[in-house]
Amino acid sequence: MEKKNGLSTRSVVAVGIGTAVFIILFKFLAIPTGIANTQINVAQAWLSLIAAIFGPVVGGLVAFIGHALNDAISYGSIWWSWVIADGVFGVLIGLAGKYLHFADGNFTTRKIIGFNLAQLVSNIVAWLVVAPLGDILIYSEPAAKVFTQGAVSTLVNVISTAILGTAVLAIYNRTKVKKNSLEHEA
C-alpha cells in the first residue's frame, strides 16, 4: 500500500479549528505583565492540548499561523522571531505528546510530571533561546531587552501552562476510554 504524503483531513481540520481558538485566546484572554510586549497567555494551554493530541506538525502549524495572524490583526505587522519561537514550542510539545501518549485516556502522575518537564524545556528553548536570538539577528534588538522579555515570557508561560495546560489535558483525558479498560465476555 502506498503511503500518502501531506496532512490528513483530520489534521487540516485540527489546524483550522485549533488556530481559530488560539487566536481568540491569544487576543482576548491575555494579561499584560508590565514588561513591553510580554503577557500571560492562556493560549499556550490550548496549544498544549492541540499539540499533545495531534502531534508536532499540527502543534507547530497552529502556533505559527495563530501567532502570525494575531500579530497581523493586533499590530498590523508580524514579529517573526516570536512567531517562529511559538512554532518551535508547538512542535516540541507535540513531540512530547507523541512520546508520552498524553491523549490515550490514561493521564497518570508520571505523564503529568513528563508533560510539565517537557513544557518547561519547550518554554525555555522557545522563549529564552529562539525568540531573543531571533530578535537580535532579525531586528537588531538590544540583548538585555530581549532576554528580559524572554525570561518573563518563559516564567509566565511555564506557570500558566503548568496550571492550565495540565488541567486541560486532565479534563480531556477524562473523556477518553482508557486502554485495556474493556473486558472480553465469554
Q: Is the dihedral of CA 121, 126, 127, 133 positive or negative?
A: positive
Nearest to 153 by CA among 130, 173, 176: 130
Does domain 11-174 sit in CATH 1.10.1760.20?
yes
What is 13-64 written as a DSSP string? HHHHHHHHHHHHHHHHSEEE-SSTT-EEETHHHHHHHHHHHH-HHHHHHHHH
Q: Please give the grid coordinates belonging to residue 126.
A: 522557545
- pLDDT of 3 above 80: no
Question: pLDDT tens for residues 110-168?
Answer: 999 999 999 999 999 999 999 999 999 999 999 999 999 999 999 999 999 999 999 99
Alpha helices in the chain (DSSP H): 9-28, 43-54, 56-75, 80-100, 109-123, 131-139, 143-160, 166-174
Question: pLDDT tens for residues 19-73?
Answer: 999 999 988 887 887 777 777 888 999 999 999 999 999 999 999 999 999 999 9
Residue at grid coordinates 510539545 = 93
The confidence score (pLDDT) of residue 4 equals 66
- pLDDT of 1 above 60: no
